Structure 1
């Protein structure tokens, strides 16, 4: 097992246990504690974990988690969100779709939709959607983030402004009563542009993001029309959604 494979296993273990001792990781991975320490040092430098006394824990808010790992996290919850979001999507609709892993799960769940018009900043979203013969897909231009498999920046925003979609669909890093929030301005700017050029907006959010507060506002509650989630949300967020006439699919 090479380093990146060990690191994926460490992240999977931490996602369920939150903390792991170096000695325990060494036994599970069949390597020395020194190797585990080197792997976790690299992971800490990338913001994925935090090394503490005798062990390692997940970073409180890792900003950039590798896409191929992120898509495996809370997969059942993402499928539930996707199932509920799919109620709104009909044949022939025009959609903005972000690069989130929940959106990728949604794309894969739309097995009965024969025709769609999609504009996305997600590289893997575009590749996955392009497999469907009746779906027309446009990928915006701009700066590529390989870690997140997406495109952002001023060029991407200008491209989005050339379209008007029936429905914008995107996820977030945190949902509070004020709205959907994200950890960086590049992601938030893309979502604000989607919302500004769509007839309606649907937020995809699983329970792990609810109640978390990130720095950048990607969509205030009054910019949303629908929220698709997997569990009943806290009363404060439900009340804020109702006050802004946001329909919740839970």
Structure 2
């Protein structure tokens, strides 16, 4: 059966039953989980379905759950190219056998999409989006518990911070709501800022991923000073003022070429 024929049949089933499980696609068509995932991704790109944990649902069924496909910040397409470029570049830092912590944020989700095929890695996360992205891959996953934030689709709060104390990872990736020379890294969500602050103590290397528009703006809750971060990955439009600032602080800076996406 051609991929297009299989995808058409899958969509017919979803139209009839309003949903389908990934395991049912694998069993019915005798395909790998990777093939099933790609079929659902194609249908989602066509706007016909929404991928959710363990499968997919008919897109008309979830108008109030548009965020399940992508976080609210990803809906802002003005920086989608930058996020994709940064996520691709950040994924290059992950090596076979690494333990990786992926925090919340749209750019971190892009990293998850690019590390699916790296062998023998373990991912720790408090993001439901990251979990949903990697659940059908061969990545070994651990999920941090805590209070579920239904608007951010993550786990947060003191239980999440406590859970972090049980782990140490090779590399951690965090996002930011804003970054300034004076106040460092900040986030609009206090709980996210607190969890990210705790993450700093659990990783051998901490990487901040943020597109250039985040620099020069303070968000509500301070996460950490700039010199608490080992590496920052931004895009090639970052101002020379901030490039010099980060270099003077001895922070490794990687600029993703947005023209390569």
Per the normalisation by structure 2, the TM-score is 0.66
What secondary structure, in the 3-state scheme, does the structure 1 residue paired with 2:235 have?
A: coil
Distance 1:182 1:111 in 2: 27
Query: 1:98 corresponds to which residue?
Result: 103
2:86 touches 2:233 (CA, 8 Å); kept in 1? yes
Task: Give 1:154's aligned residue.
Answer: 158
- Aligned position for 1:177: 181
In structure 1, the residue matched to 2:141 is: 137
Partner residue, 1:227: 232
Q: Distance in 2 between matches of 1:139 and 1:93?
A: 16
Q: 1:70 aligns with which of 73, 77, 81?
A: 73
CA distance in 1, matches of 2:179, 2:158: 25
Q: Which runs of structure 1 show a deviation greater than 6 angstroms over 4 or more consecutive aligned residues?
A: none
Report the 3-state secondary structure (helix = DSSP H, G, I; strand = E; otherwise coil) of the residue aligned with 2:192: helix
- The Cα of 1:111 is off from its aligned counterpart by 4.7
Q: Residue 6 of structure 1 aligns with which residue?
A: none
Which 5+ residue runs of structure 1 have no aligned equivalent?
Answer: 1-63
8 Å contact from structure 2 (residues 70, 129) kept in 1:
no
Match of 1:163 among 152, 164, 167: 167
With the length of structure 1 as denominator, give the TM-score of the two structures.
0.69
Q: What is the correspondence of 1:41-80 to structure 2 with a 5 Å cutoff?
A: 67-73=70-76, 74-80=79-85
Deviates more, 1:136-145 or 1:72-81: 72-81
How far the C-alpha of 1:161 sits from its partner, in A, is 1.1
**CA deviations over 1:51-100 (Å, ceiling 9, x no partner):** xxxxxxxxxxxxx9x95442232211110111221221111111111121
- Per mean C-alpha deviation after superposition, the further-off stretch among 192-201 and 226-235 is 226-235
Is residue 215 of structure 1 aligned with residue 220 of structure 2? Answer: yes
Deviation at 1:112, TM superposition (A): 4.1
Equivalent pairs, count: 185
2:204 counterpart residue number: 199
Do the aligned partners of 1:93 and 1:116 also contact (CA within 8 Å) in 2?
yes
Following superposition, the deviation at residue 182 of structure 1 comes to: 0.7
RMSD, aligned CA: 1.9
Which consecutive unaligned segments of at least 5 residues does structure 2 have?
1-66, 256-261
How far has the Cα of 1:248 moved from its partner? 0.8
Mapped partners of 2:252, 2:232: distance in 1: 6
CA–CA distance in structure 2, aligned partners of residues 162 and 173 of structure 1 = 27
